[in-house]
Structure 1
Amino acid sequence: MTGDAAAVAAERVAGVAGELAARVTAYDALRDHRAVFAYTYFRLTSDLAAGLRTNNPPFRAPEWVADLSVSLAAAYFAAMDAIDTWLGPVPDARPGGEVLSADLPETVPEPWRDVYAASTVRHSYVLEEVLFSMMAHMSYDLPLALRALAARGDVHHRIADFHRMNSLLASSVDVVQAEIATRYCRRLRSLDRLFVRDDELFTSYGIRVARGLAWFNCDRLLDPDASAEALGSISRSTAAFIAEFRSPDDWRRRRAFQVLRALVPSRRQWPAPAAPVAVGSSPG
């Protein structure tokens, strides 16, 4: 593939990163908990754009990589826009306190209703907001985005590039997690690591596994005999993940979490209003 194609692909993905940066700024200003995942998504997308720009890793079809990035982001943006429509245009008039998933309209995909509702719990932690959103995005949005690309042509011959994407994104996780701690919760490693046994999704290995499962679920969605069951499964999986995270099967851990939520504040901070979100290259 020519360098021109890779450069065009990099610019398209950088455009996605720019839109994500704008949303981070808006969410930060409103102290909206969606900022934490939006920043995570922005950073990972910035790293993908940098990988395309430098041809590291050497994608065989950078235009397909960009197509997937754009399609996947479009699903996320549509879900966030639907939430914003429900919340209304006046920040001070938006619903306060805890909301239920059923309170949100069906225009918001079920997994994102579950995520938003979970973020309104009084003691919602930064790590939770990343994990729950990543679950919705990778278990629901990603297989649907892959299915959409499959409608234009067979995606199976793109599996090598998909694996390269997985490796690139997975390699960024540790740095991104440290940046989230600096930006939103300086005590992330001491407080949110109380949930250390449940945060496997936000690791290099977890990213690879979750994205690999999304590829499998895309195959299920493409099979007429399996598509209905697959769609139901990916629609319910985020709620199941949240429930297991917050109410583990082990009664001792479940009780410990209940005590923590009653006693420990969420311990987050927000960037200063003038704090910029760098666009165009990965932060250092």
Structure 2
Amino acid sequence: MTGDTAAAAAAERVAGVAGELAVRVTRYEAQRDHRAVFAYTYFRLTSDLAAGLRTNNLSFTAPDWVADLSVSLAAAYFTAMDAIDTWLGLVPDARSRPGREVRSADLPETVPRPWRDVYAASTVRHSYVLEEVLFSMMAHMSYDLPLALRALATHADVHHRIADFHRMNDLLASSIDVVQDEIAARYCRRLHSLDRVFVHDDELFTSYGIRVARGMAWFNCDRLLDPDASAEAMGSISRSTAAFIAEFRSPDDWRRRHAFRVLRALVPSRRQWPTSPSTPADVGTVR
């Protein structure tokens, strides 16, 4: 298989992931489910990865491995969301009463702990769009990604793929500003105003933040592969999302902590939804 053919085949596999994400965006938006915001973010970034593979401007040396990682990573996310959906089906009040706050401990252990923490955080009164993106990105990059890398490492040594992993970081990081603008237009036109309020806490939603978070995931994959470090690493990546949420919502600086509490009490989330039901085609075209 030639390089161009391999890249095209890899692009189609990643486009398939984007298509499944588009379906979920449609469903979450129809249900007014807060998970739509991150699903759309993930859809857009995956679409850009598919486009990057199709043109192969970054000269991926192993596009099939890039696709493998994308598919493995998405599978972890889909499994977690499906487990939440199963729980919601058993506890219909959790969806029918949007004012009801859910605790992380309310969700079953079939949902990985970081995603339990994220879902519970999204039910807090006046949860903001920016928070939902940041908390979900934290769970996906600090927990799902090192586990996906470890899964690939059981079949082959991933260390010689670090150049392609870095190329992925470059591509995704270069997309984040445009994606943030699209999220603001779709879900929260005042996102950039809130962005200024949270300016010290939203570094994850930047090109620099994407690179750092994914670099840390690579490091934690190495820890997971080391028998002497794996248990501690697993505990660390399981706890990190809850710690991030706590620090974001209750920062160490008492003045900022007080300001955030006042803000949450007084300022509505200002979330908006598309005016008509979306279809995968409406959500966007895989580039």
What TM-score comes out, normalization by structure 2 length?
0.96
Q: Partners in 2 of 1:266 and 1:110 — Cα distance?
A: 25
Q: Partners in 2 of 1:102 and 1:143 — Cα distance?
A: 24
Residues 1:105 and 2:108 aligned together: yes
- Describe the superposition over 1:204-254 as per-residue Cα deviations: whole angstroms up to 9, x where unpaired: 000000000000000000000000000000000000000000000000000
**1:279 is matched with which residue: 258, 261, 285?**
285
**1:250 is matched with which residue: 248, 253, 261?**
253
- Deviation at 1:279? 3.0
Residues 1:142 and 2:145 aligned together: yes
- Deviation at 1:7? 0.5
Query: Percent of aligned pairs with the same residue?
Result: 85
Moved more, 64-73 or 1-10: 1-10
Q: Partners in 2 of 1:238 and 1:266 — Cα distance?
A: 21
Where in structure 1 are there 5+ consecutive unaligned residues? none
- Deviation at 1:191? 2.5
Residues 1:235 and 2:241 aligned together: no
State the SS of the aligned residue for 1:88.
helix
- Deviation at 1:2? 1.7
Residues 1:193 and 2:199 aligned together: no
Residues 1:204 and 2:210 aligned together: no
Tell me the matched-pair count.
281
Which one-letter code corresponds to 2:181 in the other structure?
A: A
Where in structure 2 are there 5+ consecutive unaligned residues? none
Moved more, 36-45 or 268-277: 268-277
**1:163 is matched with which residue: 153, 163, 166?**
166
Q: Partners in 2 of 1:252 and 1:196 — Cα distance?
A: 15
The answer to whether the 8 Å contact 1:221/1:231 transfers is yes
Q: Partners in 2 of 1:70 and 1:193 — Cα distance?
A: 34
Q: Partners in 2 of 1:254 and 1:242 — Cα distance?
A: 13
State the SS of the aligned residue for 2:102.
coil
- Describe the superposition over 1:91-146 as per-residue Cα deviations: whole angstroms up to 9, x where unpaired: 67736310000000000000000000000001100000000000000000000000
Q: Partners in 2 of 1:110 and 1:90 — Cα distance?
A: 19
Match of 1:264 in 2: 267
Which one-letter code corresponds to 2:56 in the other structure?
A: N
Q: Partners in 2 of 1:13 and 1:144 — Cα distance?
A: 19
- Deviation at 1:8? 0.5
- Describe the superposition over 1:138-188 as per-residue Cα deviations: whole angstroms up to 9, x where unpaired: 000000000000000100000000000000000000000000000000011
Match of 1:66 in 2: 67
Which one-letter code corresponds to 2:70 in the other structure?
A: S
Q: Partners in 2 of 1:37 and 1:168 — Cα distance?
A: 18
What TM-score comes out, normalization by structure 1 length?
0.97
- Deviation at 1:190? 1.1
Match of 1:80 in 2: 81
Distance 1:92 1:228, change over 3 A: closer
Distance 1:226 1:90, change over 3 A: closer
Q: Partners in 1 of 2:232 and 2:134 — Cα distance?
A: 24
